[in-house]
Amino acid sequence: MKLKLKCIFLTVILLMIFAGCSLTDENQEAVNIKNLQIDDNFNFETERWINVELHALYTGTFYLKDMEGNILYKGSIDQNAGFVQKIKLPTSITKVKIEYYEVENEYKNYEIRDNEIVYSFVPQIR
């Protein structure tokens, strides 16, 4: 039994080694890092600070999620003070889904502009 497992393990390792090797040098031109041309507008930052201001009628929990539903941030909205804070988000995130479920299931798809998220779950009186 042990011999059989060793053979299977060795076979898998060999297959991984051979699958990872390439016999051709297509598109593998070596470039000196000193000669790289980087656009002047390229942003090397991977995350940024976002000013977040949220308000609601009731104290409760909210979630900031990416558009695929992954939680980016979880916080609490105070019914009097709201939620006002700076948070860090990946620079690749340009839209978020704000979810607030204290009274009703409420959410808002929000496009981040000028590094700000400002939204109120308080209904507007007409």
Give pLDDT tens digits for 71-126: 999 999 999 999 999 999 999 999 999 999 887 778 899 999 999 999 998 887 77
Which domains does the chain possess? 2-35 (no CATH), 47-120 (2.60.40.10)
User: How confident is the model at residue 98, as a pLDDT?
Assistant: 95
Higher-confidence position of 97 and 26: 97
Q: Do residues 79 and 56 make contact, with C-beta atoms less than 8 angstroms apart? A: yes
Determine the average pLDDT of the residues in 61-75: 95
Interatomic CA distance for residues 44 and 61, integer angstroms: 33
pTM of the entire structure? 0.66
How confident is the model at residue 54, as a pLDDT? 95
